[in-house]
Chains A and B, each alone.
Chain A
């Protein structure tokens, strides 16, 4: 997942300016910053607070409330496995255990070398082709041992 810019204030300001006019602009701004830098740097919070006339605490509260917003640069790959009921009914828990074991990390953790982060997701709307996964935004249905092995090989390359 390269292609992100390194954090810098000038670009951040431009991104904020581009999105600030819409009513309730905070989430669109945070999404735009994350698309640009891969995460929302702590240093962006006072800039956003200034632009939207909010307190820094307000902005920080929002950044930390939502599961989507990362506060540190992302791992090279992000593997999301659906942990919700429809995927459980098709053996999702067992595949999740395999992924954990193979990567040697738990959900919400990244490998020490920064190759991959394992994240839980609660439903991708692919419940009719469960279990499901998402690797760097690419969706996979009917996940099984073979498909999971291919995804793991891809992130370890």
Chain B
């Protein structure tokens, strides 16, 4: 018999020994005389089942997970005889976690061979570029604007408007820069796309280049992602060979080149102007705005800088139309968001869905509560600069404005779940400590304020003049909020003040009124 098997090469699977499982399949099949083809894919996003091996059947791909090397023999038996196996989860697409999603950006992730341009095209890749070449620059920008796509890196700025500014910034050299610095704890969607479907990012950048008249693109990827870097290098080389990059793309008069650049372990380089400085070979310090990167960006030239997910959403928008994308979501949050369920959560992984599910639905229903089995006490949404939410706010819909209205942010879409063993004063201290470690040092409220913040938190934790120090903490947060040049210093107060507001008992203060009323 002929077996076609898919084993993820996504870092989350590799960190759980997926490479050893893939090797064991190859070795065991050879020993047993079973003809097997093993494709290394990205991950489907059900990370509690990783490594999840899938076998092609007439009914679709059937999954087995979480696999260990010692399960390989038994699973091969099950595949060969069509017998049930305790690790079998049935047809993967029919799994409730998959069936409830609206996968647009992640449609191919975990399915295609990320190293194969042919496989990408066979699964509908490069239809967006084909459409873009027919439409021309102006209509591409119009489609992206009409889709309602907002930057997925955190700030939520409308992508079409950014592109329009660069398109109108005169002639001459322009750049497309992909922000793949993904430094937020609790986020890994950029990494998954780069490892699981890198061509969709390349296609998105190429379309951006045509739209604004840029012929050069850079992907700035963090050094903590060696697997993503390798996948990108492979895909960029394949795209070049396939004439999807270079001069005369797809027989058109357009040229577009991509170079992959690696960061060097600085969180602040995710901030767009610090990233541009870093690409130029400088220290990653934040630039004052204006000028905007759209006017004076990389090497002083007009530059589109977008997050991985923003760019990876573009091919689908071009292929299926602006309306198709805009019809997902609620309010001013249009389209879908790849939400990342992380930390102490049972069903951890990636869940892409239109905006609008409540935080409670995401954490309790889809996430299945904590991994530890203890009650959920707090969740941090939007990375290290995002607020901590208590259960009392679980009715908040996942939407840019709804989170802002509750002094929070959705950021890059990461949700980190904590059980009732968490100490929120400790978390507030960590937020300050992280800011102190990662500050670029340009402004005093951030550079000095964060260090003071750690000291103040230490005194609060040690019960040293608690009430006075809590007042001092609030003052300090105020100074950081309004006196910082960028969101590192400016938003660190979010996790700190939300921890204080919702979990005052952890700071040695009386419980909040909301909790008392519960």
Q: Please list the residues of chain A having a beta carbon within 8 angstroms of any beta carbon in chain B.
A: 22-28, 30-31, 52, 58, 61-62, 65-69, 84-90, 121-130, 132, 137, 139-142
Contacts and interface: CB of A to CB of B under 8 A. Distances in A.
Contacts of A31: 223, 262, 264
Contacts of B280: 23-24
Interface of B: 11-12, 14-16, 47-48, 50, 182-188, 191, 223-227, 259, 261-267, 278-284, 299, 340-344, 348-350, 371, 380, 384, 414, 416-419, 422, 427, 430, 434, 437-438
- Looking at B227, B261, B416, the one whose CB has the most chain A CB atoms below 10 A away is B416
B283 A61 contact: yes
A137 B230 CA distance: 13
A69 B348 contact: no
B348 A121 contact: no
A123 B416 contact: no
A84 B224 contact: no
Contacts of B340: 127-128
Given A68-B223, A123-B185, A127-B186, A86 B342 contact: yes
28 contacts: A23-B280, A24-B261, A24-B279, A25-B281, A27-B261, A27-B281, A31-B262, A58-B282, A61-B283, A65-B283, A67-B264, A68-B263, A84-B384, A88-B427, A89-B344, A122-B438, A125-B188, A126-B11, A127-B185, A127-B186, A127-B188, A127-B343, A127-B414, A128-B341, A132-B15, A139-B14, A139-B227, A142-B15
The 6 closest A-B pairs by CB, nearest first: A26-B281, A141-B15, A66-B264, A84-B185, A89-B343, A67-B265
B343 A90 contact: yes
A69 B224 contact: no
Given A128-B340, A129-B12, 8 more contacts: A52-B281, A67-B264, A68-B264, A68-B265, A84-B434, A85-B427, A86-B414, A90-B343
B359 to A, nearest CB: 16
B188 A126 contact: yes
Contacts, number: 148
Nearest to B379: A89
B15 A140 contact: yes
B124 to A, nearest CB: 27
A25 B259 CA distance: 12
A127 B267 contact: no
Contacts of A90: 343-344, 371
Contacts of A69: 264
A141 B188 CA distance: 14
A88 to B, nearest CB: 7
A84 B50 CA distance: 22
Given A123-B184, A125-B225, A130 B343 contact: yes
A128 B281 contact: no
Contacts of B184: 123
Nearest to B282: A62
A28 B438 contact: no
A24 B301 CA distance: 14
B226 to A, nearest CB: 6
A136 B431 CA distance: 28
Contacts of A132: 15
Contact of A128 (B267, B282, B342, B437): B342
Contacts of B371: 90
B458 to A, nearest CB: 16
Contacts of B15: 126, 129, 132, 139-142
A24 to B, nearest CB: 4
A125 B224 contact: yes
A127 B224 contact: no
A142 B187 CA distance: 16
A85 B438 CA distance: 15
Contact of A89 (B284, B384, B416): B416
A66 B299 contact: no
Nearest to A131: B343
Contacts of B282: 26, 58, 62
A127 B434 contact: no
B281 A123 contact: no
- Looking at B15, B16, B416, the one whose CB has the most chain A CB atoms below 10 A away is B15
B47 A128 contact: yes
B266 A67 contact: yes
B283 A85 contact: no
A69 B422 CA distance: 34
Contacts of B343: 85-90, 127, 130
Given A61-B283, A123-B185, A129 B266 contact: no
Given A68-B265, A122-B267, A127 B416 contact: yes
B224 A123 contact: yes
B504 to A, nearest CB: 20
A142 to B, nearest CB: 7
Contact of A125 (B182, B264, B419, B422): B182
B342 A62 contact: no
B275 to A, nearest CB: 11
A121 B261 CA distance: 20
Nearest to A85: B185
Contacts of A142: 15-16
A17 B344 CA distance: 48
Contacts of A65: 266, 283-284
B348 A129 contact: yes
A25 B47 CA distance: 37
A85 B188 contact: no
A155 B50 CA distance: 27
A125 B192 CA distance: 9
A137 B225 CA distance: 10
Nearest to B188: A125
Contacts of B380: 85
Given A84-B185, A125-B187, A23 B427 contact: no
A103 B50 CA distance: 31
Contacts of A24: 261, 279-281, 299
Nearest to B441: A65
A84 B267 CA distance: 12
B344 to A, nearest CB: 4
A64 B280 CA distance: 16
A139 B341 CA distance: 20
